[in-house]
Amino acid sequence: MISKEEFDTARAATDEYLTRAGIVLTPQEREAIEVADFGKGDLATSGLQILTYINTSRCCAKELVMTPHQTCPEHRHPPVNGDPGKEETFRCRWGEVTLYTEGEQTANPRCQPPAKDAAHYTVLHETVLRPGEQFTIQPNVKHWFAAGKDGAVVSEFSTTSRDEFDIFTDPGIVRAPRIEGE
């Protein structure tokens, strides 16, 4: 759970990061920014700010904004009702983001999982994305990602997003954000 003040601060920072990346928002889009702390109560360490432009039965487009060294916990997008699960392409727009996926472990990875949750980070095949670079994650593949020292803005293009079905390695993750007093 995060406080209303943390939520408002994160939304304002998200708007600033998107402006740095040259992404213009409407007032309605600013109000639609989601702030996810994944139930950890430590947004600066485990968190993600999300703006969903569209999410239909066929496609989804989002902006993912991360503050310096912020981490999105390890998860996968499983099959749902005969659909193979979400396939997503991350394209870095600003800053730097490091993705970790299934595959051969990278020697000396650039990022470390949050210390208190390290047991729930099991994949360490590293891909670094800088502005203009992109990577596609196939359905049902475990992955996590972390922003670089300046933070990151990442555009996500995917098949239908069904966040409520995401499977996190950490069983304590709460996907839907909770704000004190709401």
CA 122, CA 38: separation in Å to the nearest integer? 18
Ranges of the chain whose pLDDT falls below 70: none
Q: Could you give the C-alpha distances from 21 to 61, 88, 124, in angstroms and in order? A: 16, 20, 28
Give the pLDDT confidence score for residue 181 in this predicted structure: 75
How many structural domains is the chain composed of?
1
Cα separation of 140 and 77, whole Å? 5
In a domain, 128, yes or no: yes
**DSSP three-state, residue 12:** helix
Q: What is the CATH number of the domain that holds 129?
A: 2.60.120.10
Let me know if residue 159 belongs to a domain. Answer: yes
Q: Is residue 84 part of a domain?
A: yes
Q: Has residue 114 been placed in a domain? A: yes
Q: Give the domain extent around 143.
A: 4-168
- pTM greater than the 0.85 cutoff: yes
State both tokens at 178: 């909770």
What's the rounded Cα separation, in Å, for the pair 82 and 177? 28
Cβ burial, residue 180 (10 Å; 0-12/13-18/19+):
exposed
The DSSP result for 17-70, as a single string, is HHHHTT----HHHHHT-EEE-TTSS-TTTB-EEEEEEEE-SS-EEEEEEE-TT-
Residue 34, in any domain of the structure: yes
Tens digit of pLDDT for each residue in 86-135?
Answer: 999 999 999 999 999 999 999 999 999 999 999 999 999 999 999 999 99
Quick check: is 145 in a domain? Answer: yes
The residue type found at 55 is N
Q: Residue 180 has what pLDDT?
A: 78
Residue 25 is predicted with a pLDDT of 95
